[in-house]
Amino acid sequence: MSAVASAPKGLEGVVAAETEMSFIDGQKGILEYVGIPIGELSSNSTFEETVFLLWNKRLPKQNELDEFTQNLRKRYELPKGMEQRVTSLPKTAEPMHVLRTLVSSLAMYDSDPNANDVDAAQDKALNILGHAPTIVAYFDRHRRGLDLVHPDTSLSFAENFLYMLNGEKPTETMARAFDICMILHADHGLNNSTFTTRVIISTLSDVYSAITGAIGSLRGPLHGGANEGVMKMLNEIPTVDDAEAYIMGKIQRKDKIMGFGHRVYKTKDPRATDLQSLAKKLAEDTGNQELYAKSHIIEQVMERELGAKGIYPNVDFYSATTYHCIGLKLDLFTPMFALSRIGGWAGHMLEQLADNRLYRPKAQYVGAHDQPYVAMSDR
């Protein structure tokens, strides 16, 4: 009997889709959205323009961006009845579970929830992109016992979310920092949650199901949940002087060090490079220099000890410091990732619908054959 070739674990190296959205070269540390280097976008673009780029495969003209932005802002406010759903939730609920559940429930407020032609799907995706920040902000204020702050449609995506969350308009630095985080997290090839989106929509299911499934995937600590782990690690280090010994202990014990290593990148994640300078500036502006100093020492130690193995900071490492400096609670870190990635998920969903084929991979059976059935009395 000929040997059967082993299947790649986790589908590693398997090409499962074609996309024009993001290009990654893990060896060289390159990430591009529709051919534009991520650093160019984080330096010059906005999140709204980046989403337009991902969905339309080109940068918008000014009138197109204005129309897209205004259309998004019209979706900030939740459908009638949704506010009461948010405030009826237990205050102990986890924000990612809240986001997953309420994005799913948006389907019940849609008069035609199952429409999944490309135009209808894009319109529903814009609804979810507009509503999701409001869901997160409303729930966070609800659990803190604060009055809800309704959206301000004169504000950008980034400004409006921070306004709803904190009850006051953010500084220009804070808003721009959050906007850059949204740009950097918007898309990243066929990662786990993006693959989930494409698999679900390939059945010609609905947009809400596809995005809900993606949120569930992102919640895992091996995916979007990693940035929470970075912050927990930084909080465990008493002082800057303790950082090197703490990391060396983890290396010696062969513990996983959150925020380092990536399935794709074998050099420093280009998004981490952009976030590092942003985190440093925010730390200086908000009095969190010690937090940044810990991060910098950790990176130096890791590069010295494990850089030769291709283990470098990933996007989660400096996003943790950035989100902390903005003032976000730890359990809001992963929801921030989700708010951004809705743009990428939706773009992949639109690509899938435009040239759909149902995903139906095979599983390689490795069990026994011709086993007898054993009667209950003989087991």
Q: Which residues participate in catalysis according to the annotation?
A: 223, 262, 316
Round to whole Å and give the CA distance between 318 and 281: 12
* Three-class DSSP labels, the chain: CCCCCCCCHHHCCCCCCCCCCEEEECCCCEEEECCEEHHHHHHHCCHHHHHHHHHHCCCCCHHHHHHHHHHHHCCCCCCCCHHHHHHCCCCCCCHHHHHHHHHHHHHHHCCCCCCCCHHHHHHHHHHHHHHHHHHHHHHHHHHCCCCCCCCCCCCCHHHHHHHHHHCCCCCHHHHHHHHHHHHHHCCCCCCHHHHHHHHHHHCCCCHHHHHHHHHHHHCCCCCCCHHHHHHHHHHHCCCHHHHHHHHHHHHHHCCCCCCECCCCCCCCCHHHHHHHHHHHHHHHHHCCHHHHHHHHHHHHHHHHHHHHHCCCECHHHHHHHHHHHHCCCHHHHHHHHHHHHHHHHHHHHHHHHHCCCCCCCCCCCCCCCCCCCCCHHHC
Round to whole Å and give the CA distance between 296 and 299: 5
Q: In degrees, to the nearest 5, what angle opens at C-alpha 332 toward C-alphas 351 and 33?
A: 30
Residue type, 372: P
Round to whole Å and give the CA distance between 161 and 258: 27
Q: Which two tokens stand for residue 326?
A: 């903005």
Round to whole Å and give the CA distance between 211 and 129: 10
Collect all residues with Cβ–Cβ distance below 8 Å to 329 and sequence separation of at least 6: 140
Residue type, 150: H
Alpha carbon 331 to its chain's center: 13
